[in-house]
Amino acid sequence: MWFYLVISVALFFLIRWFLERQTVENLKEKYVFITGCDSGFGNQLARQLDMQGLRILAGCLTQKGAEELERVTSDRLKTIIMDVTSTESVAMATEWVKEHVGNKGLWGLVNNAGVVHPAAPNEWLTKNDFVKVLDVNLVGLIDVTLHMLPLVKKAKGRVVNVASILGRLAFYGGGYCPSKYGVEAFSDCLRRELRPSGVKIAIIEPGYFRTGMTDVQGNLNKLEQIWTNVAQETKDSYGQTYFDNYYKMFKEALVTQCSTDLYLVTDCMEHALTSKHPRTRYSGGWDAQFFFIPLSYLPTVLSDLVLTWSWPKSVRAV
């Protein structure tokens, strides 16, 4: 019995390997729109696909980011200043994309724009702290998708949504985890709804990487600022020692756990856009593939134990 099981598993992976190596034809005639291209994964992907000859339409939040991206890429790549939290800005960007793609439609939409701050233990935050993150990471992503979807359907193309391992295993306070869980849910619903139309939906689930969102000093400064604004009663329930230990743990994680190889994620994005048979989910990074995603399948009591064993204890801990 075990022999046949091993053979079946090996055959499955062999067939998948063969199918995933087949690429889409006429890629150099296809348009891809990417949000959040000022830095990080979006910037890397835009440059990567530009080198492959695709026609890239890059949404940047700042003029500086747009000019720098244009400077290091070919004339095929075009940029537009875009704020995903503004429906007016999203609508203008959609019209701009429509003018470029014409009757071909939009082959790829990559919803990459995202923020992480404010982020801290939930009790230290306010409703507005959560809203700031959800507006970009989830509501903005949905708004962009709904505006661009008719163009993607015309091309029978792809929507690639950037979630996170924190959309599969939540252990970080603030709006980031809820927003990424929302991205997973929205993407799953959209995939099932659009299956008859020929549009494919892929979810990217990166682990920890060195991008603007994981800048060490910037994160530590924001954490200190949040702690300063916490109500005194809440501060007393945790204690200064808790904050000091949390600060050290947070700093160590940022310094030691973030990979600098962004290609581990952007290669997943590229495959989702260029393979005839893209995956539904991509785990970007060794930590995602071999630690966080497997951990998410364990019984909750075990995953809780693994994730929190090194966390500091508050002065009023049971």
The phi, psi pair for 5, rounded to 5°, reads -65, -45
- The candidate with the shortest Cα–Cα distance to 41, out of 169, 187, 214, is 214
| Site of tokens 């050290």 | 248
Helices (H), ranges, the chain: 2-20, 40-51, 63-71, 87-101, 127-134, 141-155, 176-194, 216-229, 232-238, 240-256, 263-274, 286-287, 293-296, 300-308
Among residues 31, 176, 181, 238, the one annotated as catalytic is 176
Distance (Å, rounded) from C-alpha 28 to C-alpha 217?
A: 41
Q: Give, rounded to a whole angstrom, the gap between the first and last alpha carbons of the chain.
A: 49
Q: Are 270 and 42 in contact (CB under 8 A)?
A: no
**31 in catalytic set:** no
Residue 198 is encoded by which pair of tokens?
């020929």
| Site of tokens 């009790």 | 123
Distance (Å, rounded) from C-alpha 119 to C-alpha 255?
A: 17
What is the H or E stretch that residue 111 is in?
strand 108-111
Q: How far apart, in Å, are the Cα atoms of 59 and each of 95, 267, 317?
A: 13, 20, 46
- The candidate with the shortest Cα–Cα distance to 288, out of 257, 309, 251, is 257
- The candidate with the shortest Cα–Cα distance to 135, out of 187, 83, 88, is 83
Report the catalytic residues: 176
